Chain A
Amino acid sequence: MLKLRVGLAQISPILGSVPENLQLHLERIEEAKEQQVQLLCFPELSLTGYVLKDLVPHVAMAATESAPAIAELLTASESMDLLFGFVEEDKRHRYYISAAYLSQGRIVHVHRKVYLPTYGMFEEERYLATGDRFRAFDTRFGRLGVLVCEDFWHISAPYALWLDGADILLLISASPGRGLSPEAVLGSSRSVELINQTYATFLTDFVLHCNRVGVEDGLNFWGGSTIFGPDGRLVAQAPYFEESLLVAALDLGAMRRVRMQLPLLRDERPDLLYTELRRMLRESRVPSREQ
């Protein structure tokens, strides 16, 4: 049976201190090594903290193998594949919320967050540039897709990765907790869990969500990282609000079995969607940034 041992490192990064956060990553990697983890995910902006504002240029790095923090993580990626979050600066000095997937000493993939929330308590687009692509990528464990927080509030993002071949979705967040009610979970936790479970069910994929914990500028991050299987069932969940390393073995064979029972991928009609989207864009029915 093909098993993949994954870990979700639910950490509380120090705001604006890359060296301390790098140390935190290396400690969690050691811990994960003891549990034979093969793929370890960290949350959004795990190397920097979230409420950065004008700290963005202070903590940014190029997404290259020579960036010091990345170089250390590349060395660590000899023992397990890693996904972590950082602020990327490109050659023309634009800054992105990025996530890098490292494997066996190489940068395999970098995803730049496409949807930057700039409403309510969020002000990402004031400080950061937007990514411009959703691409799945091949790894030794299969074809994966990465999304960062607000990306997966847009249903098209996981859908695009799914069509591009992703069987395992790695979603990473710095999700602020909010929304009180008599229920024993915060409204924000409830929504994200529902979304993740829905994606797993609709896409018959594994959907991993790694959220952070801790407090920054009065915002609390609720943790509660989850793994949903291709049947939409919860495989494992980390505790709310507490630092934790969630480890689970994914039975990759489940994808075949679920997709036999529920051949949604086989029956999907992207060509039809494409035709209809082209028509809608032509008729200006779809909101576009260019308009």
Chain B
Amino acid sequence: MEITQKLLLNAEVTRRVLVAFLRRELERFGFRRAVLNLSGGVDSALSCFLTAEALGGENVLALLLPYRTSTPESAEHARQVIGLTGVSSKTIDITPMVEPYFEQYQQMSDVRRGNVMARMRMIVLYDHSVQWQGLPIGTSNKTELLLGYGTLFGDMASAVNPLGDLYKTQVRQMARAVGVPEAIIQKAPSADLWVGQTDEGELGFTYAEVDKLLYLLVDERYKTEEAIAAGFDRQFVETVVQRMRASQFKRMPPVVAKVSRRDVGHDFLYPRDWGT
């Protein structure tokens, strides 16, 4: 079977699981409302559709948080999602929040500036989570998580993430099935942190290619040599494996130095959903 075939999913079954997950994981902590950052991209669009279905559009607050260089297309696409899902929304320009910091460091790299913006958006998200009395919903997909392609405590921050076990190509399938506009699904993925940035340009490979490789390495537990034998370029495989290894810390809570008989992190192991 073609590897591409193995990434195909039944949208109806997946939707049922994810919607039930969102509903239950919020309700068990006493929440009926949710808040999420809507970028105009396909990931946050899908999160928004699923959350609106789980809780009702009136219980979801979508935040549009543009910076002065953000493309107008992003805002337009975000507005389409808001219209289709019936969620509440708020637009807050983060430019006046981040500019004073950027002025302190004239020589900041794009990556540093991008991280600051992503973390500023996290601050606004979590602040509105209190004001809106809703939990922050995640928008990071499995591809990003495995590659560490995201800002720690920035766009990777959330309370509940419905997309974390869907590869980018699966996010696209789901997005199409739930009714995300085709223009959002088809456009080049971009964090839109600086002009001309695209995910695939920055990563150096396409999601379609890397998803197939990640599926073999992670889901099917292929060894590097087996992935190469399956037809992937050696350098590509080694780059991806190295990316996963180097970003492992991003997928874990901060490591705790153990000194007692029982510590948070090693052997104080209660379930997250304790008593719910």
Which residues of A are in contact with B by a Cβ distance under 8 Å? 14-17, 51-55, 177, 180-186, 214-218, 220, 240-241
Contact = CB atoms under 8 A, between A and B. Distances in A.
Contacts, number: 64
Given A181-B8, A241-B20, A17 B268 contact: no
Interface string B1-16: 0000010111011101
Contact of B170 (A180, A216, A220): A180
Contact of B13 (A53, A54, A186, A215): A186
B72 interface: no
Nearest to B25: A215
B276 A182 contact: no
B24 A217 contact: no
Contacts of B10: 180-184
Contacts of B220: none
B256 interface: no
B105 interface: no
Main secondary structure of the interface of A (DSSP, over half): loop
Given A15-B276, A181-B9, A181-B10, A51 B271 contact: yes
A81 B21 CA distance: 33
A55 B270 contact: yes
B24 A214 contact: yes
A14 B275 contact: yes
A241 B273 contact: no
Contacts of A218: 21, 25, 272
Given A181-B10, A186-B13, A241-B16, A220 B273 contact: no
A180 B270 contact: no
Contact of B273 (A51, A180, A240): A51
Closest CB pairs A-B (n = 4): A180-B9, A215-B24, A51-B271, A53-B269
B17 interface: yes
A214 B276 CA distance: 11
A185 B270 CA distance: 31
Nearest to B267: A54
Nearest to A222: B17
Contacts of A181: 6, 8-10
Contact of B271 (A17, A182, A217): A217
Nearest to A180: B9
A16 B20 contact: no
Contact of A216 (B13, B14, B270, B273): B273
Given A17-B275, A54-B268, A54-B270, A215 B9 contact: no
Contacts of A177: 17
A14 B276 CA distance: 5
Contact of A52 (B16, B24, B268, B271): B271
Contacts of A217: 271-273
B9 A182 contact: yes
Contact of A16 (B8, B21, B170, B274): B274
B137 to A, nearest CB: 14
A216 B9 CA distance: 23
Given A181-B9, A182-B9, A183-B10, A216 B16 contact: no
25 contacts: A15-B274, A15-B276, A53-B269, A53-B270, A54-B268, A55-B270, A177-B17, A180-B10, A180-B14, A181-B9, A181-B10, A182-B8, A182-B9, A183-B13, A184-B12, A184-B13, A185-B13, A214-B24, A215-B20, A215-B21, A215-B25, A217-B271, A220-B17, A241-B17, A241-B20
A220 B15 CA distance: 12
Contacts of B14: 180
A275 to B, nearest CB: 38
Contacts of A183: 10, 13
Contacts of A241: 16-17, 20
Given A14-B276, A16-B275, 18 more contacts: A15-B274, A15-B275, A15-B276, A16-B274, A17-B275, A53-B269, A53-B270, A53-B271, A54-B269, A177-B17, A180-B14, A180-B170, A182-B9, A182-B10, A215-B24, A215-B25, A216-B271, A216-B273
